[in-house]
Amino acid sequence: MDFTSIVITVGIGVSIYGWRRYIAGGWCCSQARLDGKTVIVTGSNTGIGKETAREFAKRGAKVILGCRNISKAQAAADDIKKSTSNDKVLVYQLDLSSLAAVKNFAERIIKGEERLDVLVNNAATAQAHRLETNDGLEMVIGTNHFGHFLLTNLLLDLLKKSSPSRIVTVSSDGYQWARRGIKFDDIHLKQNFTGFVAYGQSKLANILFTIELCRRLQGTRITANVLHPGAIRTDIIDHFVHHAFPLPFITIPIFQCMMWIFGKTVVQGAQTSIYCAVEESIATTSGVYFKDCAPTKLQDFAQDEKAAKRLWELSAEAVGLEKKLV
What is the secondary structure of 273-314 as a DSSP string? Answer: HHHHHH-GGGTT--S-EEETTEE-PPPGGGG-HHHHHHHHHH
Instruction: Give the integer Cα–Cα distance in Å for 76 and 52.
Output: 12
- Position 231 scores a pLDDT of 81
In the Cβ-directed half-sphere of 35, how many Cα atoms lie within 13 Å?
2
Output the pTM of the full model.
Answer: 0.88
- Position 15 scores a pLDDT of 45
**pLDDT averages per 10-residue partition of the chain, 326 residues:** 54 46 74 98 97 98 98 98 98 98 98 98 94 97 98 98 98 96 97 94 98 97 97 58 52 50 83 98 98 97 98 97 63
Instruction: Give the integer Cα–Cα distance in Å for 283 and 205.
Output: 24
User: Which of 285, 181, 281 lies closest to 225 in space, CA to CA?
Assistant: 285
Instruction: Give the integer Cα–Cα distance in Å for 198 and 312.
Output: 18
Burial class (CB in 10 A: 0-12, 13-18, 19+), 185: exposed
- Position 262 scores a pLDDT of 57
175 is catalytic: no
Residue environment code for 19-31, b if the CB has 16+ CB neighbours within 10 A, otherwise e: ebeeebbeebebe
- Position 22 scores a pLDDT of 46
- Position 245 scores a pLDDT of 55
Q: Assign domain 24-230+272-318 to a CATH class.
A: alpha beta
Could you tell me if 64 and 109 are in contact, meaning their C-beta atoms sit under 8 angstroms apart? yes
Instruction: Give the integer Cα–Cα distance in Å for 129 and 246.
Output: 11
- Position 108 scores a pLDDT of 98
Segment (H or E) for 50: helix 47-58
- Position 232 scores a pLDDT of 74
Marked catalytic residue, from 17, 22, 175, 199: 199
- Position 25 scores a pLDDT of 73
Instruction: Give the integer Cα–Cα distance in Å for 173 and 264.
Output: 15
- Position 139 scores a pLDDT of 98
